[in-house]
Amino acid sequence: MPAFPQGRHSGTVVPLDRANVDTDAIFPKQYGRSTARSGFGPVLFDHWRYLDPGDLDSDHSRRRPNPDFVLNRPELRGATVLMARDNFGCGSSREHAVWALRDQGFRAVVAPSFGDIFRQNCAFNGVAAIQLAATQVDALFTLAQKQTLHFEIDVLSLRLSGGLGALPFRLTEREQHLLTRDSDWIAATLAQRDRIAGFEAARLAAQPWLDKTLDTSQDT
């Protein structure tokens, strides 16, 4: 099931007021011994989320939650949109970071900027990485200090509504395809086969010598 089957999603916002949140903070490396893509939600933001350390054998339901960490606020239970500051998802290319976000229930992350590989991993795993201007994010964090925010996100019309009215954002056609269909990178690429064929035809017309091969039939 794609994250945005009708192109839209509405959810409560977790305002994580931190910049440069790297993939190890999102998903600590000691838990990355499986490629199952599920079951990682309880260790999302593990170092900040709990007061006691955990390991692979921990029963996370019995660990002590940190009451000062925003994800543990009772009114934000079940939230599906995360909002953060600049450079969210920087660091390693750890895809587990996005798996943990998705497993926790998040369908979108809103920030002024993202780590490049993290952003690519988001679309592939059904999480919309939505980039807004830093001034807009500043204003939304100010609002979040006064009220619980709820965002309506439309990945087809490329609009985010809630708090400041309708804010435009950008996604590539491939990101839109991955977020709205039960698809993967290969299928998303094949969906562009007409554009690819057109590019190849134009390239061949402009640079026909690139497709010529040496005739070696008379080599001795």
pLDDT at 193 over 90: no
DSSP 50: B
Domain at 8-182, CATH from 3.20.19.10, 3.40.50.360, 3.90.1150.10, 3.40.50.2300: 3.20.19.10
Kindly report the pTM of this predicted structure: 0.82
Average pLDDT over residues 136-148: 97
Structure confidence at residue 215 (pLDDT): 46
What are the Cα distances from residue 205, in Å, to 158, 210, 214?
Answer: 36, 10, 19
Mean pLDDT of the chain: 90
Q: Residue 51 is which amino acid?
A: L
Q: HEC string of 172-201?
A: CHHHHHHHHCCCCHHHHHHCCHHHHHHHHH
Cα–Cα distance measured from residue 182 to residue 23, given in angstroms and rounded to the nearest whole number: 26
The pLDDT of 62-78, averaged and rounded, is 96
Could you tell me the end-to-end alpha-carbon distance of the chain, in angstroms, rounded to an integer? 59
Least confident of 43-57, 125-139, 193-207: 193-207
